[in-house]
């Protein structure tokens, strides 16, 4: 091979040093990925600032009295969101209790070798499909299936045990219990999926050691597996709670939209998100500002809960890194 050939071959090689243009493109592309990453952080800041800014006039005008007052009368310009704050927390806690009981039970049943792996996977996918149904469809289902189903037993409880505050009113239609039940169904997949991840990541050694000592299957689960995964399970509950607080449509359709502050499971109520959804389309001027105030309150509550949940889960996933599998 002559020297000439070698030079010619060199000119046609596939690999060559990047040209000026390549380097320019490279720098621009890398710069834009960094920019978009930063934009995500900016977006969260912008959301908070934007909502806070729109709420500012109402915050100045009403101050804390809006949070502690219970009347909502747009004709007289009197607003109060205490019943909504109470309804948001009450329905979410009830929903969380239902969602946790079922979610954790399902997570255990679908992670501790009760079923053949294939059946387990199918069941897991079916439970996850619960999360795919849009919330407005759950609302429709709640109106036509859950409420008629709950009304007879609820009214029986009210008639016979009416002196207990929990059953203090009759269920005439929409109310706290149907709303909380549907809420529980909606957050169940979140809780069961994250709890299951936590349970699956418990090192096998721990389980085998417990079984080897003669513990029964459930003694192992309750004594070793669940306590080890408890941080993850708790994180899933916090995130589920966050979902429940912000859930809008199903509640707007089922909770009854009445400005009431009651501990009764069957009384209609309202939540912050449902208040926004129901009043916003027809609201004008001052009422919009008050609704923005309500949005700000909801934002603060959910941001706190979600940050807490994300932090707990980050801690939980770091926990097993020391134990070799």
Partner 1 sequence: MSTHQALRDPFEGIDLPRLEKSIYSPRAAFSSALSVLTGAMTLVAMLPLASVLAMLIWRGGRRLSLALFTETPPSAFSAGGGFGNAILGTLVMVGIAALISVPFGILAAMFLAEFGPNSKTASAVRFCAKVLTGFPSILAGVFAYALVVLMTGSFSAPAGGVALSLLMLPTVMLTAEEAIRMVPAKMREAAIGMGCTPTQLAWRVILPTAVPGILTGVMLAVARAAGETAPLIFTALFSNDWLYSHGRLNLMEPTASLAVLIYNFSGMPFDNQIELAWSASLVLVLIVLVLNIGGQIFSKRSIKL
Does 309 contact partner 1 by CB under 8 A? Answer: yes
286 binds partner 1 per the rule CB under 8 A: no
Q: Which long-range contacts (CB under 8 A, 24 or more apart) does 301-305 make?
A: 301/88, 301/245, 301/272, 302/242, 302/245, 302/246, 303/48, 305/238, 305/241, 305/242, 305/245
Structure tokens at 153: 């037993």
- Which one of 116, 117, 212, 281 is in contact with partner 1 (CB under 8 A)? 281
3-state DSSP assignment of residue 2: coil
Four-CA torsion 274, 280, 281, 287, nearest 10 degrees:
140
Q: Does 139 bind partner 1 (CB under 8 A)?
A: yes
Nearer to partner 1, 176 or 183 (CB): 183
Q: What is the DSSP letter of 267?
A: S
Least Å distance, CB 245 to partner 1, is 7
Among 9, 44, 209, 213, binds partner 1 (CB under 8 A): 44
Select from 152, 218, 315, 318 the one that contacts partner 1 (CB under 8 A). Answer: 218
Identify the three-state secondary structure at position 168. Answer: coil
Under the criterion CB under 8 A, does residue 321 sit at the interface with partner 1?
Answer: no
Measured CA to CA, the distance from residue 66 to residue 271 in angstroms comes to 15
Return the number of the residue (236 or 264) whose C-beta is nearest partner 1: 236
- Min dist. Cβ of residue 164 to partner 1 (A): 26
Among 8, 9, 23, 73, binds partner 1 (CB under 8 A): 23
Query: Which is nearer to partner 1, 6 or 41 (by Cβ)?
Result: 41
The residue (of 82 and 277) whose beta carbon lies closer to partner 1 is 277
Contacts of 309 (CB under 8 A, 6+ apart): 235, 238, 239, 241, 242
Nearest distance, CB of residue 165 and partner 1, angstroms: 28
Q: Would you state the structure tokens that stand for residue 82, as one six-digit string?
A: 């205490």
Residue 291, SS3? helix
Residues 48-87 that bind partner 1 (CB under 8 A): 50-51, 53-54
Determine which residue in the list 4, 5, 6, 40 makes contact with partner 1, applying CB under 8 A. Answer: 40
Nearer to partner 1, 67 or 277 (CB): 277
Instruction: Report how many residues bind partner 1 under the rule CB under 8 A.
Output: 89
Binding of residue 9 to partner 1 (CB under 8 A): no
Q: Assess 302 for contact with partner 1 (CB under 8 A).
A: yes
Select the residue interacting with partner 1 from 9, 97, 105, 209 (CB under 8 A): 105
Based on its alpha-carbon atoms, the radius of gyration of the chain, rounded to whole angstroms, reads 27
Q: What pairs with residue 78 in β-bridges?
A: 73
For the chain, the straight-line distance linking the first and the last C-alpha, in angstroms and rounded, comes to 58
Assess contact for 256 and 175: CB atoms under 8 A: yes
CB of 226 to partner 1, least distance (A): 12
Residue 305: other Cβ atoms inside 10 A: 20
* Widest pairwise Cα distance in the chain: 106
Residue 217 touches partner 1, criterion: CB under 8 A: yes
Q: Which is nearer to partner 1, 119 or 164 (CB)?
A: 119
Among 1, 6, 7, 132, the residue binding partner 1 under the rule CB under 8 A is 132
């Amino acid at each position: 091979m002559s020297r000439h050939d070698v030079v010619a071959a060199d000119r046609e090689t596939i690999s060559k040093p990047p040209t000026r243009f390549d380097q320019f493109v490279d720098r621009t592309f890398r710069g834009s990925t960094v920019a978009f990453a930063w934009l995500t952080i900016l977006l969260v800041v912008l959301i908070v600032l934007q909502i806070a800014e729109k709420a500012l006039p109402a915050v100045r005008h009403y101050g804390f009295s809006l949070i502690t007052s219970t009347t909502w009368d747009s004709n007289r310009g009197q607003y109060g969101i205490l019943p909504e704050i109470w309804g948001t927390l009450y329905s979410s806690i009830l929903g969380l209790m239902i969602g946790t009981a079922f979610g954790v039970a399902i997570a255990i049943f679908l992670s501790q070798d009760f079923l053949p792996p294939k059946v387990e996977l199918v069941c897991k996918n079916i439970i996850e499909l619960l999360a795919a149904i849009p919330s407005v469809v759950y609302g429709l289902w709640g109106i036509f299936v859950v409420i008629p189903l709950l009304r007879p037993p609820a009214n029986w409880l009210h008639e016979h045990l009416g002196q207990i505050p929990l059953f203090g009113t009759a269920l005439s239609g929409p109310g706290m219990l149907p709303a909380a039940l549907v809420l529980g169904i909606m957050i169940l997949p979140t809780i069961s999926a994250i709890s299951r991840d936590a349970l699956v990541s418990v090192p096998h050694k721990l389980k085998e050691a417990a079984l080897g000592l003669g513990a029964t299957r459930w003694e192992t689960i309750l004594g070793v597996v669940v306590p080890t995964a408890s941080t993850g399970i708790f994180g899933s509950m916090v995130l589920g709670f966050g979902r429940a607080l912000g859930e809008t449509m199903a509640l707007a359709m089922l909770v009854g939209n009445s400005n009431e502050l009651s501990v009764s499971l069957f009384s209609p109520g309202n939540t912050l998100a449902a208040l926004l959804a129901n009043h916003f389309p027809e609201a004008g001027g001052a009422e919009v500002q008050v609704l923005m105030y309500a949005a700000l309150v909801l934002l603060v509550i959910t941001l706190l809960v979600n940050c807490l949940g994300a932090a707990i889960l980050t801690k939980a996933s770091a926990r097993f890194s020391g134990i070799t599998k």
